[in-house]
Homo-oligomer: A and B are copies of this chain.
Amino acid sequence: MSTRSSHQVVPPDGAPSASPDVIVAGAGLIGLVTAWRAARLGLRVTVVAPDEPGAASGVAAGMLTPATEAAFGEEPLTRFGLRSQERYPGFLSELAEDTAIDPGYRAEGTLQVAFDPDDLAVLTELMELRDRLGAKTERLTSRECRRLEPMLAPSVRGGVLAPDDHSVDPRRLAAALRAAAAERGAVFVADRVERVVTAGGAARGVRLGGGGTLSAGQVVLAAGAWTSLIAGPPAGTVPALRPVKGQLLRLRAPRGAEPVVTRTVRGLVRGAPVYLVPRADGEVVLGATQEEMGFDARLTVGGVWEILRDARELVPGITELEIAESCVGLRPGAPDNEPLLGPTRLPGLHLATGHFRHGVLFAPATGDAMAEALTTGRLPEHARRFAADRELRVPAGSEGVEEQWT
């Protein structure tokens, strides 16, 4: 995670010699992509984050699957996701100009399968929604599903193939974005932003956990579920983010074994979503729970058991695989479960958070939108629904979140 310029020392009680144009608080995917895109446009960027992987980014499975994720009531998210999905190949080409780190992009499509007749009925309903949104999916029989993925349980009732729903390795993508941002001159400070410093009714910089301060014309808070814990902004400026816990497992196949799945396989098992995302190195990511437990990052019996139970129903062959790692991530959820992007009501202060379970998919579109906001002061038209200073639309009766297709 070290970069050429990551060792800048901030004087404990003064500003560094040259103030950056933008300070980004947070080095998860969203903070990193914001930094990189802004730096590519010529802005001087400093990223402030503890030397730990992003809480959600380091855990995420990396599905780029707006079609198979589309759900009723989330149409704006699907549209933004489809835009970001379309942007991915170009985005990765540009990334490759700035770093040799391979982000592990896989373009085999995604197979979504139903375990029982009720699950199949849900899939059928969703196909209509997806067609309407322009998300390409293709109905498959049980036999066709198993022709694509021979290790699927014979009991699988049928499914859909989403040929454009791909995947990336979020840990590699984060490493690539960090290197690319550094290549474009971004400076990394290994500290925590404790407070936004304001003066004259505007954000002027940040105070660090280590005690120093750092000044800049613009500040972007991109600290995931922790964003609203940063002190300083006037009440009402930063909506409360809530952590949505996800537990997942990383499996490893024995060397030389046939892969248990050759593309991302998502399933509905008695109404519960589960997925298997394969990587080139034989790893398979299994996930994920969705729990509203506050800042609780404990791996639990219930979480692990549910994931294993449902994944085994779809692909019994995983039984022989090694559990190489178990992870817990905290996704940032805004009150209306939509991203919070761009300028806030406090001049100079931007947000880039609230990506919930869509952070990896939305990274390119968010990076572009944030870079535009930081250079022009306005989000692009298509991203304005997610403006950080919007009136929040909290869906009636939904404190939590629709459980399906997470």
Contacts and interface: CB of A to CB of B under 8 A. Distances in A.
A323 B309 contact: no
A375 interface: no
Interface stretch (A207-215, A299-307, A342-350): A299-307
A325 to B, nearest CB: 10
A301 to B, nearest CB: 5
A323 B308 contact: no
Nearest to A317: B301
Interface in A287-340: 298-302, 304-305, 308-309, 311-312, 318-323, 326
B322 A298 contact: yes
A300 B326 contact: no
Contact of A300 (B304, B305, B321): B321
Contact of A305 (B302, B312, B322, B326): B312
Tallying the copies of this chain within the complex gives 2
A311 B321 CA distance: 21
A320 B308 contact: no
Contacts of A308: 301, 304-305, 308
Contacts of A300: 319-323
**Chain A interface, >50% SS class:** helix
Given A323-B326, A326-B323, A301 B312 contact: yes
Contact of A304 (B302, B320, B323): B323
Contacts of A320: 300-302
Interface string A96-113: 000000000000000000
A251 interface: yes
A77 B351 CA distance: 67
A312 B326 CA distance: 20
Interface string A233-252: 00000000000000001010
A283 to B, nearest CB: 13
Nearest to A254: B298
The winner among A312, A318, A322 for most chain B CB atoms within 10 A is: A322
B304 A319 contact: no
Contacts of A299: 322-323
Nearest to A322: B298
Contacts of A305: 305, 308-309, 312, 319
Interface in A364-395: none
A302 B316 CA distance: 9
A1 to B, nearest CB: 26
A209 to B, nearest CB: 26
Contacts of A311: 301
A299 B324 CA distance: 7
Interface of A: 249, 251, 298-302, 304-305, 308-309, 311-312, 318-323, 326
8 contacts: A298-B322, A301-B311, A301-B318, A301-B322, A301-B323, A302-B319, A305-B305, A305-B308
Given A298-B322, A304-B323, A309-B309, 19 more contacts: A249-B301, A251-B301, A299-B322, A299-B323, A300-B319, A300-B321, A300-B322, A301-B311, A301-B312, A301-B319, A301-B322, A302-B320, A304-B304, A305-B305, A305-B308, A305-B309, A305-B319, A308-B308, A326-B326
Closest CB pairs A-B (n = 9): A302-B319, A298-B322, A305-B308, A299-B323, A301-B318, A301-B321, A301-B319, A300-B322, A301-B308
